[in-house]
């Protein structure tokens, strides 16, 4: 069996195994084993991918597998990975693995919890391996729907409202996406040719420019909603705040990346002319996302809301960078996806752990936690540093690359947008440091906090996995950016090959 198919099969097997488990201990053990295997598999994938590249295989997509599914409509089950998807898969498996341990103590309806969680994960994995728009869309929706149950049942606060809002907004996104996919499908082949959903086949053909103009907003906003594009980001803070820990981790860490990844793979790659024409509109919107998210985070008092808004800002930066449409910025965008995925997952894990002890998420009610739970405190500081882009951690690499890329545009509009976006770095530093100060340092506000314990073994496992990955990217960013860059280059070339024919507005 193709190694990629395993990424979908193993979660399914895990789910079946969970169905037969007897109690909570078995359930979580099975989940941990299943996701552990997934993590190892991801390791093997990365290793063999790099090996194959080293051996000089230059196919755009490796581990390519193709099976006909619906013959008449030419729907295939096509899978394959390039450097970008490999990186995303690795990210997903790390976050899911950490997520399982972060939800070690879920007691109510534990079976259902882990099943939904793993179904969600399988949707995400499926999305990243598919090269066929149909299966991509299928997995996209599979990934979204369990969120409703996860937030609705195990969430906190106004969970039913948030769950419904999140589901409906994301589904509205998929409605836009659906139109885009169908439009692409019906123009996927030159007149008389066999229509196809296959990304690679479509990319060989040029979709008429009028159609591109019509479809690009559908495709980009469709994915953009998931990537927290202003003004469609409103599901994100509510959803994140209400979701249980592991779900916030997965959602902010991985699911929002579907948006960026999809926008790149489908909207930009398949509709390049329109992308060049319309980029400026969405640059403005994403610019607003970046800045608005950062300022929004300052205004919040609840830890989860702070992090949710900061996710809006960071994910906005991903889309922003993608729209810069050059190699460096896009490279940065993808590193930013990985880095943000890891660190936001770490943040949410930590928030969950702290909340589990203090039973509050309001910053002003806490203080001096560093003394009480040093392990968690240190982790928090590391996550914060990564988030504000400290050199040596992943955030720095990503943001630097992005801004280097976007400064390559010399016109006023791009310059202005870039400078606007860079302000977010400063703002980010403000709120991160403020929270660190209020949360970890200073006097302990509540005596009963003194009795709290530091992290348990499973919590340590969860956080350490994430921190190691963050540090790895920060210390040795080259292999990652090599892996991405190799695959990115031909795609960027393709996207930019059309620039000459189009007079951009700026």
Partner 1 sequence: MVFNDFLTMRHELILVCMILLVLIIDLCVSKANKTVMIPVAISLFLIHTIIGFLPAQSGVLFGGAYHSEPLTVLMKNILNIGVVIVLLQSAAWLQKEENREKISEFFMIMWATLTGMYFMISSGDFLMLYLGLELATIPMATLAAYVHHQTKSAEAGVKFILSSALSSGILLFGLSMIYGTCGSMYFDTIQTAYGNAPLQVLAFLFFFSGMAFKISLVPFHLWTADVYEGAPVNVTSYFSVISKGASAFILIIVLYTVFHSIAYLWKDVLYIISIITMVVGNLFALRQQNLKRFLAFSSIAQAGFLLLGLLGANEVGMTATIYFVLVYIFSNLGAFGVVSAIHAKTGKENISDYNGLYKTNPLLSLLMMLSMFSLAGIPPVAGFFGKFFLFTSAASAGYYWLVFIAVLNATISLYYYLMVVKAMFINKNDNPIPYFKSDAYTRVGLICAALGIFVIGFWSQIYEIITSLAFGVIK
Distance, in Å, from the CA atom of 262 to the CA atom of 291, rounded to the nearest integer, reads 23
Site string for partner 1, 155-174 (x = CB under 8 A): -----x---x--xx--xx-x
Closest distance of CB 21 from partner 1, Å: 15
- Closest to partner 1 by CB, 142 vs 281, is 142
User: Do 254 and 91 meet the contact criterion of CB atoms below 8 Å apart?
Assistant: yes
Binder of partner 1 out of 88, 176, 226, 335 (CB under 8 A): 176
Q: CA nearest 375: which of 354, 352, 391, 390? A: 354
Closest distance of CB 109 from partner 1, Å: 8
Residue 153 makes contact with partner 1 by CB under 8 A: yes
Residue 218 makes contact with partner 1 by CB under 8 A: yes
Residue 185 makes contact with partner 1 by CB under 8 A: yes
Sign of CA dihedral 104, 110, 113, 115: positive
Distance, in Å, from the CA atom of 418 to the CA atom of 422, rounded to the nearest integer, reads 6
Residue 178 makes contact with partner 1 by CB under 8 A: yes
84-113: contacts with partner 1 (CB under 8 A): none
Binder of partner 1 out of 34, 99, 183, 259 (CB under 8 A): 183
Closest distance of CB 70 from partner 1, Å: 5
Residue 209 makes contact with partner 1 by CB under 8 A: no
Binder of partner 1 out of 22, 54, 71, 448 (CB under 8 A): 71
The size of the interface with partner 1 (CB under 8 A), counted in residues, is 34
**Rounded to a whole number, what is the distance in angstroms from the first to the last CA of the chain?**
50
Q: CA nearest 484: which of 267, 313, 331? A: 331
- Closest to partner 1 by CB, 175 vs 426, is 175
What is the SS3 assignment for 328-392?
A: HHHHHHHHHHHHHHHHHHHHHHHHHHHHHHHCCCEHHHCCCHHHHCHHHHHHHHHHHHHHCCCCC
- The interface region with partner 1, picked from 43-51, 132-140, 297-305, 387-395 by CB under 8 A, is 132-140
Binder of partner 1 out of 89, 149, 376, 382 (CB under 8 A): 149
Closest distance of CB 134 from partner 1, Å: 7
**Geometric angle at alpha carbon 251, from 246 and 256, rounded to 5°:** 160
Closest distance of CB 164 from partner 1, Å: 7
Binder of partner 1 out of 175, 299, 419, 476 (CB under 8 A): 175
Phi (first) and psi of residue 289, to 5 degrees:
-55, -50
Q: Which helix (H) or strand (E) holds 48?
A: helix 24-54
- Under 8 Å CB-to-CB from 245, ≥6 apart: which residues? 99, 102, 103, 348, 349, 351, 352, 353, 355, 356
Distance, in Å, from the CA atom of 217 to the CA atom of 112, rounded to the nearest integer, reads 37
Binder of partner 1 out of 17, 142, 471, 489 (CB under 8 A): 142
Closest distance of CB 167 from partner 1, Å: 7
- Under 8 Å CB-to-CB from 402, ≥6 apart: which residues? 317, 320, 321, 324, 328, 329, 332, 333, 336
Closest distance of CB 142 from partner 1, Å: 5
- Closest to partner 1 by CB, 214 vs 295, is 214
Residue 179 makes contact with partner 1 by CB under 8 A: yes
Distances (CA, A) of 204 to 78, 191, 265, 500: 16, 14, 14, 18
Residue 69 makes contact with partner 1 by CB under 8 A: yes
Closest distance of CB 303 from partner 1, Å: 25
- Closest to partner 1 by CB, 181 vs 317, is 181
Distance, in Å, from the CA atom of 355 to the CA atom of 307, rounded to the nearest integer, reads 14
Q: How many beta carbons lie within 10 A of that of residue 237, not counting itself? A: 24
Residue 428 makes contact with partner 1 by CB under 8 A: no
297-316: contacts with partner 1 (CB under 8 A): none
Closest distance of CB 257 from partner 1, Å: 20
Residue 186 makes contact with partner 1 by CB under 8 A: yes
Residue 182 makes contact with partner 1 by CB under 8 A: yes
Residue 60 makes contact with partner 1 by CB under 8 A: no
The binding site for partner 1 (CB under 8 A) comprises 69-73, 75, 134, 137-139, 141-142, 145, 148-149, 152-153, 160, 164, 167-168, 171-172, 174-176, 178-179, 182-183, 185-186, 214, 218
């Amino acid at each position: 069996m193709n190694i990629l198919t395993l990424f979908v099969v193993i979660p399914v097997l895990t789910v079946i195994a969970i169905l037969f488990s007897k109690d909570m201990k078995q359930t979580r053990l099975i989940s941990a084993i299943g996701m552990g295997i997934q993590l190892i598999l991801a390791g093997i994938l990365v290793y063999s991918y790099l090996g194959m590249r080293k051996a000089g295989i230059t196919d755009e997509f490796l581990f390519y597998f193709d099976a006909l599914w619906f013959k008449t409509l030419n729907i295939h089950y096509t899978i394959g990975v390039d450097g970008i998807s490999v990186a995303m898969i690795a990210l997903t498996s790390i976050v899911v693995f950490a997520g399982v341990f972060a939800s070690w103590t879920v007691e109510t309806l534990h079976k259902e919890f882990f099943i939904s969680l793993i179904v969600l994960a399988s949707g995400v994995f499926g999305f990243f391996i598919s090269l066929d728009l149909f299966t991509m869309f299928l997995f996209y929706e599979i990934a979204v729907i369990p969120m409703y149950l996860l937030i609705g049942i195990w969430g906190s606060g106004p969970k039913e409202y948030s769950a419904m809002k999140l589901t409906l907004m994301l589904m509205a996104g998929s409605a836009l996406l659906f139109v885009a996919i169908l439009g692409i499908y019906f123009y996927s082949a030159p007149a008389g040719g066999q229509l196809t959903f296959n990304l690679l086949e479509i990319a060989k053909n040029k979709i008429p420019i009028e159609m591109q103009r019509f479809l690009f907003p559908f495709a980009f906003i469709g994915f953009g909603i998931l990537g927290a594009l202003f003004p469609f980001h409103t599901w994100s803070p509510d959803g994140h705040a209400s979701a249980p820990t592991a779900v916030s981790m997965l959602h902010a860490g991985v699911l929002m990346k579907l948006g960026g990844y999809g926008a790149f793979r489908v909207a930009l790659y398949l509709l390049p002319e329109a992308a060049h024409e319309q980029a400026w509109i969405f640059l403005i919107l994403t610019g607003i996302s970046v800045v608005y998210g950062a300022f929004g985070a300052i205004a919040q008092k609840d830890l989860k809301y702070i992090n949710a808004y900061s996710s809006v800002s960071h994910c906005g930066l991903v889309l922003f960078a993608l729209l810069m449409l050059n190699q460096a910025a896009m490279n940065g965008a993808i590193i930013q996806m990985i880095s943000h995925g890891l660190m936001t997952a770490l943040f949410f894990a930590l928030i969950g752990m702290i909340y589990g002890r203090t039973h509050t998420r309001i910053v002003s009610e806490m203080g001096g936690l560093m003394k009480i739970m040093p392990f968690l405190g240190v982790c928090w500081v590391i996550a914060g540093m990564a988030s504000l882009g400290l050199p040596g951690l992943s955030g720095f690499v990503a943001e630097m690359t992005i801004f280097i890329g976007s400064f390559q545009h010399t016109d006023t509009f791009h310059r202005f947008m870039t400078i606007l976006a860079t302000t977010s770095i400063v703002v980010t530093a403000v709120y991160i440091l403020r929270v660190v100060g209020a949360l970890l340092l200073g006097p302990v506000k509540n005596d009963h906090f003194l009795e709290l314990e530091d992290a348990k073994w499973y919590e340590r496992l969860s956080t350490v996995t994430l921190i190691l990955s963050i540090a790895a990217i920060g210390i040795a960013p080259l292999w990652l950016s090599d892996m991405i860059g190799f695959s990115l280059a031909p795609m960027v070339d393709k996207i930019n090959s059309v620039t000459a024919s189009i007079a951009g507005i700026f």
